[in-house]
Amino acid sequence: MKRTAWAAWAGRLKDGIGSISTESGVLSNTRYGYGSRFGNSVGTNPEELVGAALAGCFSMALVSQLEESGLRPESMRTEATVTMEQGPGGYSIPAIHLSTVAKVPGATRQGFEAAAAQAQAGCPVSKLVKARVTLAAKLED
């Protein structure tokens, strides 16, 4: 399986503008630029997209783990906080923190946390990311 995405850029770094698109069309000429990456301008940025990819991948992996245990999640919300820092060698992403809350009838806290840890380790995007990925998993009543 292969998926394709592309980015276009015009202009200089600080006043130029870029767009990101995906093969599926979900992102179609979605704006990004210096202001949306380092400020509060309208648009997306690569770090936000990495976070969304990891949160989505992890959530699907966790559902899979729970279903393998005979459980059926009712709801789940996963947030990914991507930390970008500037150091001597330039910018890097040293850490990503996942926080997930799920409602899973019949699940125990211990079983849920074990499934979440397996999902984090097995998610293809987690395997891609070289940053330290931490996790907080909470089971709702």
Which domains does the chain carry?
5-38 (no CATH), 46-140 (3.30.300.20)
Q: Detail the DSSP E strand segments found in the chain.
A: 5-10, 17-22, 30-32, 75-87, 90-103, 132-140
pLDDT tens-place string over residues 116-128: 999 999 999 999 9
Categorize the per-residue pLDDT at 80 as very low, low, confident or very high, splitting at 50, 70 and 90.
Answer: very high
Q: What's the mean pLDDT in 111-136?
A: 93
Handedness of CA 49, 53, 59, 62 (dihedral sign): negative
Rounded CA separation 127/52 (Å): 15
Q: What's the mean pLDDT in 98-110?
A: 97
Strand 90-103 and strand 75-87: the pairing is antiparallel
DSSP 14: T
* 3-class DSSP state of 49: helix
Rounded CA separation 45/31 (Å): 9
Q: Detail the DSSP E strand segments found in 16-68.
A: 17-22, 30-32
pLDDT tens-place string over residues 15-73: 999 999 999 999 999 999 999 999 999 999 999 999 999 999 999 999 999 999 999 99
* 3-class DSSP state of 12: coil
